[in-house]
Amino acid sequence: MEAAVLSFLDSLIGSEGVKGALIADEHGLCLGAKGIANSNSAGFISSIAIYAKSLHDDPNVQVPTIKIETDKSKLSKDIGKIINLNDECNVTLKIGLQPNQKEFKAHSLILRARYIYNGTIDLHDQEPSDMLDILCAADELIIDELIEYIQTYLIQNRQTWIIENLIEILNMVSSRPTLSTLTNLCLEEITLLNPSTFFESESFLNMNEVALVELLKRDDICMKESKLWNCVLKWGIANTPSLSYDLEDEVISNTSREQSCNDTYLCKLTSEDYQALERTLKNCIPLIRFLDIPSNEFNKMVSKSKILPKKLLDDINHYHLTGEVHSTQIYNITSPRSCGLQIDSKIINQKQAAILVNWIDGHDISYPIPYTIKLLFRASEGNNDPKLFHEKCDNVGPTFIVIKIRDSNCLVGGYNPLNDSWKRSWFYPARGQKECFIFSIDSSDKILDKSPKLSNVVPEHKKDAIFDHPWNGPCFGTGPDLWVNIDFNNPIGHAIRKSYQHSIMKSRDFRWEDWEVFSVKKNIPG
């Protein structure tokens, strides 16, 4: 991280002028400042000192640079020019040890104001890992505008890298409250993916405690609690220094046997080993929802139960015997996790599906989801057969369709609320009602801050909202406002606004990669 931070400081302060100096100890750590005008600037320097640690011993280490744009405004350019006035610089920051020491020239007035010499920073040529280092440096230096800018840039432009490096990113940012946007995105990615696959991966064992605790706090981890507890135990064993852990050891790494995994290993532990393991897991244990583990499963966890505090174990046993929760319990183990909306799709994730389903009742994504979604038809598996589409999708109640546009991040689709859904009829093909809508979503927008486009049927055209055909795919409106064919060898579609309020695409014609139809059934309480 040191190299990126040096580059970062170089960008903020510049490289001209002499007067004043920071005093460093033998390790390259800043001890004080000479030529600093007052305590405000000294406070700023002390923030820099947090990162002024000894540099790499290798003089050939490449230091990344950051391009600073100075044409944002005349004021920004004028402030940037004063760095070249050597006689006016009255602070020199000396970072590191020779031969890798580097100097930064600055003005105490600028430091007191906690301002930067130029107003913009260009990240386009930076490696994402360097951006992350700079982001952490900006957090230490409390440069809020830069923090927001880098987080937004990473999320919008480096999403693939984020998904491929979730644990490494979480380990760096989860302990920093100002980086919560990036933290929450990474945690959400884990829950939107298959949580079981993540928790059973070898890389999960490298997650630090702070990141794991933040993950376990979430209510939307959709996996059996006993399986989750088993994975957390495995993490605890791997992260307890006094315990011998071999990743190749079948007893530990074999997660196919949920109940027996780790049992043989735990039986060999001494009381001191159990105490060490309990200390490792002390912040994780309160976040496991033990009351969601059936008694017949929990009773098999004899060795694992030894790790639990006596008070917690008594509360769990009391619940299994009486069905009642101890009023004196000190652990928050009563609130079950919610798996949220489950969907079998190769096109949309749970969060995107939740938006679509909530639109049915006119709610936003934060509203509880009272629906069950079931995949009925997938075009890529339909053998180009219109009959198969109608066999699976006719007369099944309300449905929605999602279409993945080829060579694009765009998803489009529509909601059909009719109880008889689709028909293969030549007679009276136009039908519909006011609840019909079509939509588009940018699938690359992981945090969905770009509002998905919803287009409701025009009231006077509600009877034309759905258009049936025996040999074609789903059709919304008579434009057609949205239509796809079924032939996978000729994957075409149209989006021509007529019956709905807004156009959902810029282009009137498109080619699709795949499309899916789902039934939508409202859950009946009880």
Q: What is the pLDDT along the chain (526 residues), one digit of tens a residue?
A: 555 545 555 544 443 332 333 333 333 333 333 333 333 333 333 333 333 333 334 444 443 333 333 344 555 566 666 666 666 788 888 888 888 888 878 778 777 765 666 666 778 888 999 999 999 999 998 888 889 999 999 998 898 899 889 999 999 999 999 999 999 999 988 887 678 889 989 999 999 999 999 999 998 888 889 999 999 999 999 999 988 655 445 444 444 444 444 666 777 888 898 899 999 999 999 999 988 888 888 888 767 778 888 888 888 888 888 887 775 555 665 577 876 677 888 898 877 888 888 888 876 655 556 788 999 999 998 777 888 998 999 999 999 999 999 999 899 999 999 988 888 766 667 888 999 999 999 877 654 545 678 999 999 999 999 988 877 789 999 999 999 998 888 899 999 999 999 999 999 999 999 999 999 998 776 5
Q: What are phi and psi of 375, to 5 degrees?
A: -70, 130
Length of the chain: 526
Largest CA distance in the chain: 89
Residue 157 in any domain: the answer is no
- 146 within domain boundaries: no
Phi, psi (rounded to 5 degrees) for 77: -65, -40
The pLDDT value given to residue 194 = 72
* 23 strand-pairing partners: 32
Cα–Cα distance, 340 to 355 (Å, whole number): 12
Report d(CA 144, CA 211) in Å as an integer: 22
Q: Pairing relation of β-strands 509-522 and 371-378? A: antiparallel
Within this chain, do residues 316 and 426 fall inside the same structural domain, yes or no?
no
Which pLDDT belongs to residue 49? 36
Determine, yes or no, domain membership for 35. yes
What integer pLDDT is reported at residue 242 of this predicted model? 86
pLDDT for 446: 53
| Domain match, 385 and 307 both | no
Is 294 in the same domain as 359? no
**pLDDT value, residue 28:** 36
Query: Does residue 141 form part of some domain?
Result: no
The span from the CA of 418 to the CA of 412, in Å, is: 19
Single residue among 97, 122, 147 that ends a domain in this structure: 122
The pLDDT score that the predictor gives to residue 243 is: 84
- Rounded CA separation 200/254 (Å): 9
CB 259, CB 304: distance < 8 Å: no
Q: End of a domain among 64, 92, 122?
A: 122
Domain that holds residue 284: 194-322
Residue 151 belongs to a domain:
no
My answer on whether 472 and 395 are in the same domain is yes
pLDDT score recorded for residue 223: 85
Same domain, 516 and 374: yes
CA 507, 512, 513, 514 dihedral sign is: positive
* Count of domains forming the chain: 3
Question: Do 317 and 363 fall into the same domain?
Answer: no
Does 131 map to a domain?
no
Q: Are residues 253 and 372 in the same domain?
A: no
Same-domain check for residues 209 and 309 = yes
Instruction: Return the half-sphere exposure (C-beta side, CA atoms, 13 A cut-off) of residue 56.
Output: 12
Same structural domain, 359 and 474: yes
Residue 39 within any structural domain of the chain = yes
To the nearest 10°, the Cα dihedral for 230, 233, 239, 242?
A: -130
pLDDT in the model for residue 260: 47
* Same domain membership, residue 61 and residue 111: yes
Which residue, 122, 151, 167, sits at the end of a domain?
A: 122
Same domain, 358 and 486: yes
Claim to verify: residue 404 and residue 512 sit in the same structural domain: yes
